[in-house]
Amino acid sequence: MGQRIAISGASGFVGRALIAHLERSGHEVLRLVRGSASEPHGVRWQPDTGELDGRALGAVDAVVHLAGENVAGGRWTPARRAAIAASRGPTTERLARSLARLPVPPRTLISASATGIYGDCGDARLDERTPPGQGFLAEVAQAWEAATQPAASAGIRVVHLRIGMVLDQSGGALARMLLPFRLGLGGRLGSGQQWVSWIHRQDLVAAIAFLLGQESLRGPVLAVAPEPVTNREFTRALGRALRRPAVLPVPAFALRLLFGAMADELLLSSQRATPRALLTAGFQFAHPNLAEAFAAALAPGARTA
């Protein structure tokens, strides 16, 4: 039986694919949108104030909260840092309070988080039991997850979806890599020894749909493929998938000159994460292997929703 599900960040890289997946599966999807909700199935939501049109929303089974400022959208100036932080913790808390006040609160809130919560962990193996680390992204992610407490206190099942690098040719990190790699200008970042926790976009949306029906799962859930790789392995695999050399490394100092602190936390940081909760619950990845995931993501007929 289909559920009635509301989604924030519905127009984003993950949100678009999630809506298509859920609607194909027979669910009714509502979109939480800023300002006027003139589009079909739109529900007015003001992230800056927390105002939510409860009458238009009605009773929903679940809310999937994906909205947030792009952390890779530019150099981390003080203004960018403030915008990134404000779009996560405070916005999520306002949404959680609005959901808690509804006459009939949703049963489930799946709220995006990120593997950046662990900080730079070198070769250590990580899962949902690993404590948070240090750094700007780790602090933002901790505040992001803590902000859902008003929903949890109202009896809503809360899942913190710790998302790794999402792979699809239509957006995200992979889309930004394609041009230099196709020109033969790709290569490892820094030493290349940092671990990359990744997931194909198809598996991410399937995992979210899976979690909607897993009433026993709550708290942190890693949304990453079961086979993390080093950055060196990642860039080599992408080069092979594109049939291009990937032998031009970018030194760490050059990345720091270009991107400042963002280089250390986003490009050179290491998270070797395993999706223990999803695997234990029986979720099956369609693309657990990186080479196969690249082949699927780069296929000419791949979905670009």
**Nearest in space to 90 (alpha carbons), one of 136, 139, 148:** 148
Check residue 72 and give its pLDDT: 86
Domains in the chain: boundaries: 4-298
Nearest to 44 by CA among 13, 35, 259: 35
Structure confidence at residue 37 (pLDDT): 60
Predicted confidence (pLDDT) at residue 3 exceeds the cutoff of 70: yes
Lowest mean pLDDT across 116-130, 218-232, 246-260: 246-260
Distance CA 158, CA 182 (A): 41
pTM for this prediction: 0.95
pLDDT at 302: 61
Tell me the CB-side half-sphere exposure of residue 29, using CA atoms within 13 A.
Answer: 25
Specify the range with the lowest mean pLDDT, choosing from 136-145, 284-293, 295-304: 295-304
Question: SS3 sequence, 260-302?
Answer: CHHHHHHHCCCCEECCHHHHHHCCCCCCCCHHHHHHHHHCCCC
Q: What is the pLDDT of residue 301?
A: 62
Q: Is the pLDDT of residue 304 over 80?
A: no
Give whole-number Cα distances, 208 to 7, 73, 293, 295, in Å.
11, 25, 18, 23
Encode pLDDT of 232-258 as tens digits: 999 999 999 999 999 999 999 999 998
Determine the longest span between alpha carbons in the chain, in angstroms: 58
How big is the chain, counted in residues? Answer: 305
Q: How confident is the model at residue 160 (pLDDT cuts 50, 70, 90)?
A: very high
Q: What is the mean pLDDT of the chain?
A: 94
User: 108 vs 299, which has greater pLDDT?
Assistant: 108
Phi, psi (degrees; rounded to nearest 5) at 139: -65, -40
Residue 303: band (very low, low, confident or very high) from pLDDT cuts 50, 70, 90:
low
Look at residue 305 and tell me whether its pLDDT is greater than 70.
Answer: no
- What is the reported pLDDT for 36? 65
Q: What is the mean pLDDT of residues 200-220?
A: 97
Query: Taking the chain, what is the end-to-end CA distance rounded to the nearest angstrom?
Result: 25
- CATH number given to 4-298: 3.40.50.720
